[in-house]
Amino acid sequence: MNDRITRDSRSPAEIYDEQFVPALFRPWAGVVVDAARVGAGQRVLDVACGTGVLACAAAERVGSGGSVVGLDANPQMLAVARRKPASVEWIDGRAESLPFADVNFDPVVSQFGLMFFDDRVAALREMVRVLRPGGRLAVAVCDAVEHSPGYAALAALLQRLFGDAVVNAFRAPFAIGDAALLQRLCEQAGVLRAEVAAHAGTVRFASIEALVSTERACVWTLGGLLDDAQFERLLSESQQALRPYLQADGLVAFDMPALLITAGKR
């Protein structure tokens, strides 16, 4: 079998942590903890913590006098998170029904999870419920795919090669990348005086093949949708489609902005 289509033995959570976190998500952790004004001694909740990049960043900020809880509904993600050296309490749970008492946390943060929740309004309502008076909410989501040129090019290629079902799966992380929509969700959830602002960000992968292979393995988008022949075709045609974002050293880089919801609680 061609080496390029040898099955990856890592779990989806391990692929996420080893590929997506450094390529996309790690730089956002600092943005979100800044927006939430995370500081020494606070008690912080990270909702949909994944493999823990944001929770770990928060743990560095709160120091030994504070505490951080990372909650996720995916046991594989939590298994990877528990390998991290940070002092974080990892809890299995759903955003729509947080297993915590009211007014329990200073900041509540969430990074690139809201778009995947079954009930986004319920999740936002729960985040506010567990906030203490004076606490702050900060939630980041992907901006629209059209604002991320490399991913927009890949979406167009997927549409041309494989049609609606595949491209719609790929576009799922960008589904709520609309400031007006986010404001409506906040209003429905009773998130008062919410602000939604765009923040610039950059995607970086080691190569076109690394980008395409990681997307193919992602269970939240293309995972299980492409067979080996389709993957080979996608990989071949991606060389041309993503060429504008290829740097001299083979690195692939392009803009991927995010929308950040912030709100305080009186």
CA atoms within 13 Å, Cβ hemisphere of 130:
24
CA-to-CA separations, 49 to 45, 58, 118, 168, 245, in angstroms, rounded: 9, 11, 16, 24, 30
pLDDT of residue 140: 98
d(CA 44, CA 28): 17
Residues spanned by the domain of 101: 10-264
| DSSP 8-state class, residue 83 | T
Question: What is this structure's pTM?
Answer: 0.93
Residue 54 belongs to some domain of the structure: yes
Residue 2 belongs to some domain of the structure: no
d(CA 108, CA 163): 39
pLDDT tens digits, 219-240: 888 988 999 999 999 999 999 9
Residue 18 belongs to some domain of the structure: yes
Residue 3 belongs to some domain of the structure: no
pLDDT of residue 7: 53
Residue 5 belongs to some domain of the structure: no
Q: Please name which of 108, 151, 113, 109 lies closest in space to residue 131, comparing C-alpha atoms.
A: 108
- As averages over each run of 10 residues, the pLDDT of the chain (266 residues) reads 53 90 94 98 98 97 97 96 95 98 98 97 98 98 98 98 96 97 98 96 95 88 91 96 95 97 96
Angle, vertex CA 109, rays to CA 38 and CA 134, nearest 5? 55
DSSP-assigned beta bridge partners for residue 142: 258
Q: Please name which of 114, 110, 255, 111 lies closest in space to residue 176, comparing C-alpha atoms.
A: 114
Residue 61 belongs to some domain of the structure: yes
Residue 40 belongs to some domain of the structure: yes
Q: Which residue in this structure is represented by tokens 């005086």?
A: 193
pLDDT of residue 5: 45
In the chain, the number of structural domains is: 1
Report the CATH number at residue 113: 3.40.50.150
